[in-house]
Amino acid sequence: MKKPLPNFCKALYALLLVLCGYALPASSQSSVFNGPAEMLQSSMHNLFISSNGRYYIQTNGGNTGFNYWWNANGLDALVDGYLRSRSSTYTTRMKNLLYGIKATNGNTYINYFYDDMEWMAISTLRAYQHTGDTAYMNAANILWADIQTGIHPERGGAIQWNKGTPNSFNACANAPAVIFAARLYQQNGNAATLTAAQNIYNWTKSVLVNPTTGAVYDSYDAGTNTVNTNPDWVFSYNVGTWIGAALELYQVTGNSTYMDDAVRTAEYAMNTRLYNGVFFTNETGGGDGGLFKGIFIRYFTLLAREGNLPAATRQRYTNALKTSAQALNGQGINPSNGLVSPVWTTQPGASTDYSTQLSGVMMLEAAATLDQAFVYKDLNYGGYSAGFTPGSYTYNDIIARGALNDDITSFTLPEGYSITLYQDDNYAGTNATFTANTPWVGASWNDLTSSLRVNRTGGDGLKGEYYQGLNFNTFKLSRNDENINFNWANGSPDYTIRPDSFSARWTGRIKPRYTETYTFYLNSDNGRRLWINNQLLIDQWIDNWNVEYTATITLTADQLYDIRLEYFEHNGGAACKLEWSSPSQAREVVPASRFYTPSAVARKAAPATIAASDKDVNMLLTASPNPLSDRVRIQVANAGTAARLQVQVYNLSGAPVKPLQLIENGQQADLAGLPAGMYILQVRTGNKIFTKKLVKH
């Protein structure tokens, strides 16, 4: 391996990009969900953190109580934020919560409920694997030692629910124990730990899992030999953790029976708990139940990323996750404060439980990973993982994303991606390109990668621009959309856009597979216009729905043609879908691989550079007063008074020094508490990023 550039050079280069207002184009799922995920994380911290900063309270509506198992899962959600952002803001919050849970729980991690300790064990082990901080591993070991006191050898190794009910064996106390023990075995290689995981798994499967449907029942009373088979007591978190338990043991052992079990239960969820494309909308309450579907999403997402699943199955699962996230982002979030609804298809009230907020965070954090290539430490997609969106990654970049140098053994690729591995830093030395999921890179590449590139082998979707108003009146945001296949129901494309009276414009290029006459099918609620190759093919700018419009055009294979689709929503339902067909191609939604955003086309034509115009764009940003004391008013010209600004402040080393703030255009951002000195202000609105130096006195 060649010696990498010093860290200070990398930091200086990153800061240069910030100062110039330059950012690499975001890929579609990251583009759609990174911002909302960060917003929910920020609102969760700001609205639920206790007055002493040690834990997150029950509700933002006045109940300041401490709930151990909610906070244990809260640590897991903070790890999600850290993996997405790699920001020290999250490592600080994680460490404060780790010690805060212990202090608030009587200066111990030990708890009365075995399942509560298992949630904490899972979170601390995961935090250790991604930070290397031994404080988390120490906590995990303490918890596992106590969890094992609940094991009943006479019942095949099952774990009782809590320390006062020796006859109560719940799914929530057993499947999470399997997840933790299987991961711990990967960490320490202790065969007894794997045996314990398999014993617990076998008991749970024999007693609490329907062998035909895969449904997971809530509990078993050993005193009466009664299994709870009430279909209303098949809860999403038990379904999710059973999927997770099966997946972990499959990855450790390679035994396909475990994978079959995971898929059977996943299909149960797909067939019985997916309503209008949204998971578990039948779970409508708060309290403990508010956290159930977030836990399900966590483990269902891991299965959807599993490299050994058939591609069609992975795609179905991924699509279900995307539509659920779209529903939450467009219908279930209060845009004024970032609160999440217990029902992801309706607006929340004035108060939300921390458990409910956590589920929303887990959903959007999961959705933001769906367009990433994941590399793994071990064979068969095992061990720690790190996600990479399309781009180039040096030695330092790989480490910054959570992988280690010379430590990549397997990887998964989304459809239409390739990955090129390089033996040396800065894309030097021997290289090899892969275009499919690879459970082992082979002896010639195992643990030898020092830099890499992730590329799209096809298109990357279209540029979507969204407006409030029927005729593109007030710009709200821009993002990459993989395709045009949306059903927003009574919601909108994003929490920042009010339902009803909004419009959208998608632009880019389209590349046909064949030299043939293509038929385009456009279904929308409400108006629509479609141009291809600058020809207006469909012009129905009218307020109707449930009408399919078609048009034909002759296209040449592999040639890029301009495409523009405009849409407005008046009131009620909101949907838009674009399909195509030809004599050689079955009718389908036009896929992302056939669309190219304007920036993608430009990148193919010439290398990206930092042009003078990129620097000049920051003249649109006004921050006053500057120098400042504690607050600064921020205004972006031409963004409109209703624009929402994402404000981040960095020190001169490029590290964030304040949590992300969401303000309206023209409002003030809070810089109180920062010492005097120079800082970098970064303001994002839609797809535009502005930067300015600030001086605090």
- 429-479, pLDDT tens digit by residue? 999 999 999 999 999 899 999 999 999 888 989 999 999 999 999 999 999
More confident residue, 22 or 210: 210
| Cα–Cα distance for residue pair 617/567, rounded to 1 Å | 29
pLDDT at 617 over 70: no
The model's confidence at residue 694, banded by pLDDT at 50, 70 and 90, is confident
User: How much is the pLDDT for 15?
Assistant: 38
Q: What is the pTM of this model?
A: 0.83
Q: Domain 375-456 classified CATH 3.40.50.300? A: no
In the block, tokens 């050993």 appear at 222
Mean pLDDT within 545-553:
97
- HSE of 410, CA atoms in CB hemisphere, 13 A: 19
What is the CATH number assigned to the segment(s) 620-696?
A: 2.60.40.1930
Q: List alpha helices for 58-170, DSSP H.
A: 68-85, 88-104, 114-131, 134-147
Interior/surface letters 27-52, b for 16+ CB within 10 angstroms, e for the rest: bbbbbbbbbbbbbbbbbbbebbbeee
**Residue percentage of the chain with pLDDT more than 70:** 92
Token code pair at residue 113: 């409920």
User: How much is the pLDDT for 653?
Assistant: 53
pLDDT at 229 over 60: yes
- 328-363, pLDDT tens digit by residue? 999 999 999 999 999 999 999 999 999 999 999 999
Q: Spell out the domain ranges in the chain.
A: 375-456, 462-603, 620-696
Residue 34: name the closest of 362, 317, 325, 367 by CA.
367
Q: What is the mean pLDDT of the chain?
A: 89
Residue 681: name the closest of 613, 10, 690 by CA.
690
Measured N-to-C along each axis, helices 134-147 and 114-131 cross at an angle, to the nearest 10 degrees, of 150
- Residue 494, Cβ neighbours under 10 Å: how many? 23
The CA–CA distances, whole Å, from 653 to 14, 18, 348, 618, 677 equal 9, 11, 39, 20, 13
More confident residue, 10 or 418: 418
Residue 480: name the closest of 493, 495, 499, 498 by CA.
493
The model's confidence at residue 683, banded by pLDDT at 50, 70 and 90, is confident
DSSP characters for 303-349?
HHT-TTS-HHHHHHHHHHHHHHHHHHHHHSB-TTT--B-SSTTS---
User: How much is the pLDDT for 110?
Assistant: 98
pLDDT at 7 over 70: no
What is the CATH number assigned to the segment(s) 462-603?
A: 3.90.182.10
**Lowest-confidence segment of 67-71, 297-301, 479-483, 505-509 by average pLDDT:** 479-483
Q: Are 142 and 110 in contact (CB under 8 A)?
A: yes
The CA–CA distances, whole Å, from 271 to 215, 317, 431 equal 11, 12, 44
| Cα–Cα distance for residue pair 280/260, rounded to 1 Å | 22
In the block, tokens 């969890």 appear at 147
Token code pair at residue 652: 């001169």
pLDDT at 18 over 70: no
| Cα–Cα distance for residue pair 82/94, rounded to 1 Å | 9
